[in-house]
């Protein structure tokens, strides 16, 4: 059975359009309750700062309580915070109301199991099958209860701070933090301040409509200006739900997820605590692979998507992986991608070594990477077309070991993504355009 509503990260869409409506949210809660806790249980519900979050929170609460499920409402908290608090409170499952790095017009609903991990495809399919049934309302004596748990956010703050390591704080560091006017706007600055850092907060004034709007990890321009402007040592930008982070060095230069992986991996290797390979994706920069190889660190590539990175880490018993976007998994610290925890690992390296972030990333040279989207009438496998195969072989021979070609159909739209990496930007761009033209011709 295929999944109609659940994508790679829960249900997501434009607010007011199916499925992101109040009636669907209530239906979804009732269906999830019947599948996940048929005899009753407890769910933790958290959200980011979107205006529509209040509406969906109320709908989910009603659906769960009517189905006999106790509800704990924790309010705005990063997605990884919900995963952690679901485990901490021994809840049967957790729900996050968020559309991550999207603008406020969108929203989404995703689930965690009791361990703080994502639901299996099989469970999501069973929930979808239950959507055909009307929402259930139990008799009064069997209804669930709803309670607020807002003040428990400090438990997540303490957990994040503890990942810095014993005897270490951030005193002496001036840090600019951009919370994307999203879920981390309270806990993010408080964690850094409690650890002794001097903080300059931006993107920490949500109004329900400004989440990810010209701020955060997807729009770090203001952070790049602010860090050197206030003479900070470093800056960090989260996305709207706090599971991604990019950083900015003291010169105002972006340090992306690949570079952060390099810094953390080197530190774990030197400490003797790195287990298994570091896992990236097919889109991770070739410079990361070569820099890790030079440091004696094994590197593997998974398909794009944090669930695939996680699956490969589990298969290889690794502890560190992530994506260029800044979605980093530190499995020796937590169960899911956590922007604050990942940033703290980098800040810990800076504090222990006394080195600037610019110096820590100097050992990794990012290769020029050109990504082109070729729109097609229907999705197809471009590598099965002889003319495309010949173009790929010609370009790969030209690039040698200092280049890479990736062709992949988009999972969400009729587009073939063409990516070429190489040492010299002009040649790389020309190769990408040649390959995109071959794909366009093959598409007719």
How far apart are the C-alpha atoms of 159 and 175, rounded to whole Å? Answer: 20
* pLDDT per position as a tens digit, 358-409: 999 999 999 999 999 999 888 788 888 999 999 999 999 999 888 999 998 8
Quote the pLDDT of residue 393. Answer: 94
How far apart are the C-alpha atoms of 305 and 298, rounded to whole Å? Answer: 20
Residue appearing with tokens 């790095």: 101
Whether residues 142 and 199 share a domain: the answer is no
Mean pLDDT of the chain: 95
CA R_g for the chain = 23
Query: Around Cβ 162, how many Cβ atoms within 10 Å?
Result: 12
Quote the pLDDT of residue 2. Answer: 59
Whether residues 96 and 222 share a domain: the answer is no
Quote the pLDDT of residue 4. Answer: 87
In this structure, is residue 2 part of a structural domain? no
Q: Which of 328, 360, 392 is the C-terminal boundary of a domain?
A: 360
Q: What is the CATH number of the domain that holds 400?
A: 3.30.310.50
Q: Give the pLDDT band (50/70/90) at residue 411.
A: low
Stretch 278-294: mean pLDDT: 96
Whether residues 190 and 334 share a domain: the answer is yes
Length of the chain: 444
Q: Which of 360, 384, 399 is the C-terminal boundary of a domain?
A: 360
Whether residues 317 and 379 share a domain: the answer is no
**37-41, 64-68, 93-97, 117-121: range with lowest mean pLDDT:** 117-121
- Identify whether the C-beta of residue 44 lies closer than 8 Å to the C-beta of residue 144: no
H-helix or E-strand spanning residue 301: strand 299-302
Whether residues 169 and 218 share a domain: the answer is yes
Token couple for 399: 């690039």
Q: What is the CATH number of the domain that holds 224?
A: 3.40.120.10
Quote the pLDDT of residue 229. Answer: 98
Query: Around Cβ 252, how many Cβ atoms within 10 Å?
Result: 17
Quote the pLDDT of residue 412. Answer: 65
* pLDDT per position as a tens digit, 177-212: 999 999 999 999 999 999 999 999 999 999 999 999
Token couple for 285: 């920069």
Which residues have a Cβ under 8 Å from the Cβ of 256 and sit 6 or more positions away? 246, 324, 325, 326
Q: Which of 120, 148, 176 is the C-terminal boundary of a domain?
A: 148
Quote the pLDDT of residue 1. Answer: 47
Whole domain around residue 384: which residue ranges? 369-443
Whether residues 275 and 376 share a domain: the answer is no
In this structure, is residue 162 part of a structural domain? yes
On whether the pTM is more than 0.85, the answer is: yes
Whether residues 336 and 239 share a domain: the answer is yes
> Does 28 score more than 70 pLDDT?
yes
Whether residues 107 and 251 share a domain: the answer is no
Token couple for 51: 């205006």
Interior/surface letters 292-318, b for 16+ CB within 10 angstroms, e for the rest = beebebebbbbebbbebbbebbeebeb
Stretch 414-420: mean pLDDT: 92
Whether residues 387 and 355 share a domain: the answer is no
> Does 107 score more than 70 pLDDT?
yes
Whether residues 344 and 251 share a domain: the answer is yes
Whether residues 22 and 74 share a domain: the answer is yes
Residue 388 sits at the vertex; the CA angle it makes with 384 and 389, to the nearest 5 degrees, is 65
In this structure, is residue 4 part of a structural domain? no
Residues designated as active site? 100
Whether residues 24 and 144 share a domain: the answer is yes
CA 40 to mean position of chain CA atoms: 31
Q: How many domains does the chain have?
A: 3
In this structure, is residue 190 part of a structural domain? yes
Quote the pLDDT of residue 324. Answer: 96
Quote the pLDDT of residue 312. Answer: 97
């Amino acid at each position: 059975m295929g999944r109609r509503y659940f994508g790679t990260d829960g249900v997501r869409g434009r607010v007011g359009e199916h499925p992101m409506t109040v009636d669907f949210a209530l239906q979804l809660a009732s269906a999830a309750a019947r599948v996940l806790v048929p005899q009753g249980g407890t769910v933790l519900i958290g959200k980011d700062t979107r205006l529509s979050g209040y509406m969906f929170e109320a709908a989910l609460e009603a659906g769960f309580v009517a189905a006999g499920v106790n509800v704990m409402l924790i309010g705005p908290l990063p997605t990884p915070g919900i995963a952690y608090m679901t485990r901490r409170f021994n809840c049967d499952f957790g729900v996050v109301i968020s559309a991550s790095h999207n603008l406020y017009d969108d929203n989404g609903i995703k689930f965690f199991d009791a361990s703080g991990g994502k639901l299996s495809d099989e469970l999501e399919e069973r929930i979808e099958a239950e959507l055909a049934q009307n929402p259930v309302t139990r008799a009064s004596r069997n209804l669930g209860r709803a309670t607020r748990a807002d003040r428990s956010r400090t438990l997540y703050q303490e957990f994040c701070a503890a990942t810095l390591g014993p005897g270490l704080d951030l005193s002496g560091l001036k840090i600019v933090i951009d919370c994307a006017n999203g879920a981390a706007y309270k806990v993010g600055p408080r964690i850094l301040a409690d650890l002794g850092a001097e903080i300059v907060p931006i993107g920490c004034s949500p109004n329900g409509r400004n989440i990810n709007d010209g701020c955060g990890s997807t729009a770090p321009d203001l952070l790049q200006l602010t860090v050197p402007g206030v003479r900070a040592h470093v800056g960090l930008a989260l996305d709207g739900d706090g599971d991604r982070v990019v950083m900015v060095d003291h010169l105002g230069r972006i340090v992306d997820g690949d570079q952060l992986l390099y810094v953390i991996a080197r530190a774990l290797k030197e400490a003797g605590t790195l287990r298994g390979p570091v896992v990236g994706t097919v889109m991770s920069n070739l410079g990361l692979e070569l820099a890790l190889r030079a440091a004696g660190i094994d590197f593997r590539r998974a398909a794009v998507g944090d669930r695939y990175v996680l699956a490969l880490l589990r298969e290889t018993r690794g502890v560190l992986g992530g994506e260029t976007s800044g979605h980093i998994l530190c499995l020796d610290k937590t169960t899911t991608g956590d922007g604050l925890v990942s940033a703290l690992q980098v800040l810990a390296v800076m504090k222990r070594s006394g080195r600037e972030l610019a110096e820590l990333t100097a050992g990794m040279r990012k290769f020029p990477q050109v990504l082109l989207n070729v729109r097609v009438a229907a999705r197809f496998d471009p590598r099965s077309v002889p003319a495309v195969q010949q173009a790929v072989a010609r370009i790969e021979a030209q690039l040698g070991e200092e280049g890479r070609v990736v062709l992949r159909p988009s999972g969400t739209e009729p587009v073939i993504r063409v990516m070429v990496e190489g040492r010299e930007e002009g040649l790389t761009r020309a190769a990408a355009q040649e390959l995109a033209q071959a794909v366009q011709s093959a598409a007719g």
